[in-house]
Amino acid sequence: MLKTLKTLKTPIMLAAVFSASALFSGCTKKTDDQSGTAQVAAVKSEPSGAQASEIVIGEYGSFTGNEATFGQSTDKGLKMAIDETNKAGGIKGKQIKLIALDDQGKAEEAAAVVTRLITQNKVVALIGEVASSRTLAAAPIAQEHKIPMISPSSTNPKVTEIGDNIFRVCFIDPFQGTVMAKFAFEHLKVKKVAILRDVKSDYSVGLADYFIKKFKELGGEVVADESYQGGEMDFKPQLTKLKSKTPEAIFIPGYYTEVGLIARQARALNISAPLLGGDGWDSSKLFEIGGKDINGSYFSNHFTTESTDPAVVDFLKRYKEKYNGETADGLAALGYDAGKILIAAIERAGEAKPELIRAEIAKTKDFVGVTGKISIDSQRNATKPAMVVKVDGNVNRYVTTITP
């Protein structure tokens, strides 16, 4: 998606822990999956590899930073998958130990923490990241060390092209761009669209390009293509230019942090065209930032809380019970599926050896996940459907499903 959203319960607690860790060089957040507690520990104090009774896997994500809900949600889903396995006896009698490190939403930090997880913590596999830019920074390190890595939700096609140890359980941007172009042209019946993309984001730039290609193939017209940089707060100059072109819809393939602000400023300029986007919108913070101005907008996603599938209904129920009434979002569901696929691969491998795990992940076929039936193709991408949802306050209403 997918550039979000351990066991720490609130952003305030997270901030406190990381403020403290800043006082010590080499210190980083460590999450103990079995105890449900989080602590700050020097990297040197971590175990150097799996003990006889443990299988050590690593996770890296944006637990703090601009898109913190991405990392936090993914982590909760992953921990749920691991907890369930450990409570059922683990894998061949061994418990899974998760070491989760915060990359602070920075590409350079993602590379650094993955290096630590591999060289110091001796993990046998990795889960992460959400943001494509950060995955692209870290994946070459996993590939160099031949450690299998599963991204729950990085959708840029370049991610798995890095090498044969890099996998994902989400759809990719060429498909996601096609989904939203077809939805705009065929479902919303719009013929003229404008683009507003984040030029610093591999995810945003790629998704915009795929959307444009398909929309033009369908016979639509792109009347404007404006850009911004992630972290900006004022989008009125770009929106004013878009307004002058009278688009019937505006495609904004960015992250919820900027999208909410863009929605507010677009409506303040009396732009009434529907706003469209991708899975980077998926966050509980989207409506909090965008308010009523984001209502009626559409985005592609991996998951819907309105599903009647018994497996999804049960997952949502268990997630709420585990996390004090919180509703799972798409990132949590993908974190859960990534964890379950990795666990199944380790079980089939028979031994927790990276090369054996890698081979079994590659064999994943028709895995029934909460985000759909997942098969890993020859390019290590997931073949699966996408859903389009409509923002309605704190709820994303299911609209339609589009299959590959």
366: helix, strand or coil: coil
Residue 49 has, within 13 A of its CA and on its CB side, a CA count of 4
Instruction: Note the pTM of the prediction, 2 decimals.
Output: 0.82
Question: What gap in Å lies between CA 284 and CA 395, rounded to an integer?
Answer: 9
Tokens of 50: 């799996």
Amino acid symbol at 246: T
Q: Is residue 129 a contact partner of residue 280, using CB atoms and an 8 Å limit?
A: no
Question: What gap in Å lies between CA 214 and CA 178, rounded to an integer?
Answer: 6
End-to-end CA distance of the chain: 16
98: helix, strand or coil: strand
- Domains in the chain (CATH in brackets) are 1-171+306-384 (3.40.50.2300), 174-301 (3.40.50.2300)
- What single-letter DSSP state applies at residue 47? -
pLDDT at 12: 34
Looking at the DSSP assignment, which residues form a beta bridge with residue 388? 300, 400
pLDDT at 175: 94
Question: What gap in Å lies between CA 101 and CA 182, rounded to an integer?
Answer: 38
Question: What gap in Å lies between CA 114 and CA 126, rounded to an integer?
Answer: 8
Q: Is residue 190 a contact partner of residue 248, using CB atoms and an 8 Å limit?
A: yes
pLDDT in tens, the chain (404 residues): 544 333 333 333 333 333 333 333 333 344 433 333 233 332 333 443 445 689 999 999 999 998 999 999 999 999 999 999 999 999 999 999 999 999 999 999 999 999 999 999 999 999 999 999 999 999 999 999 999 999 999 999 999 999 999 999 999 999 999 999 999 999 999 999 999 999 999 999 999 999 999 999 999 999 999 999 999 999 999 999 999 999 999 999 999 999 999 999 999 999 999 999 999 999 989 999 999 999 999 999 999 999 999 999 999 999 999 999 999 999 999 999 999 999 999 999 999 999 999 999 999 999 999 999 999 999 999 988 899 999 999 999 999 998 87
pLDDT at 330: 94
pLDDT at 18: 35
Strands (E) located in 258-302: 275-277, 298-301
Tokens of 303: 């998951």
Q: Is residue 181 a contact partner of residue 207, using CB atoms and an 8 Å limit?
A: no
Cα distances from 267 to residues 190, 223, 231, 271, 283, in angstroms, run 19, 19, 20, 5, 21
Axis crossing angle, helix 354-362 with helix 330-349, rounded to the nearest 10: 120
Q: Is residue 251 a contact partner of residue 277, using CB atoms and an 8 Å limit?
A: yes
Cα distances from 62 to residues 230, 336, 388, in angstroms, run 15, 17, 25
Transcribe 117-166 into DSSP letters: HHHTS--S-EE--SSHHHHHHHHHHHHHTT--EEESS---THHHHT-TTE
